[in-house]
Amino acid sequence: MFHKIYNRIEYTLAKMFDNVFYLLNEVISSGFVFIFSKKKKRIEELEKEEEFKSNIICRFVLDGIGRKIGESVAVADEDILIIKSRNKYLGVPMKHIEEDGKTLLVKGLIEQDKAELMGEKWRRENLKEIKYDDVEE
| Sign of the Cα pseudo-torsion (24, 26, 31, 32, in order) | positive
Backbone angles phi, psi at 119, to 5 degrees: -65, -40
**From first to last of its 137 residues, what are the pLDDT tens digits of the chain?**
555 565 566 667 666 767 666 666 666 666 555 555 667 778 888 777 777 777 788 999 998 888 999 999 998 887 899 999 988 999 999 889 888 888 999 988 788 899 999 999 999 998 877 777 755 65
Burial class (CB in 10 A: 0-12, 13-18, 19+), 122: buried
Task: CATH number for 58-126: choose from 1.10.3210.10, 1.10.10.10, 2.30.30.240, 2.40.30.10.
Answer: 2.30.30.240
Q: Which of 99, 122, 107 is nearest to 48 (CA)?
A: 99
How far apart are alpha carbons 41 and 61 in whole angstroms?
A: 31
3-state secondary structure of 1: coil
Domain boundaries, the chain: 1-55, 58-126
pTM recorded for the entire structure? 0.61
Query: For residue range 36-51, what is the model confidence (pLDDT) as tens digits?
Result: 566 777 888 877 777 7
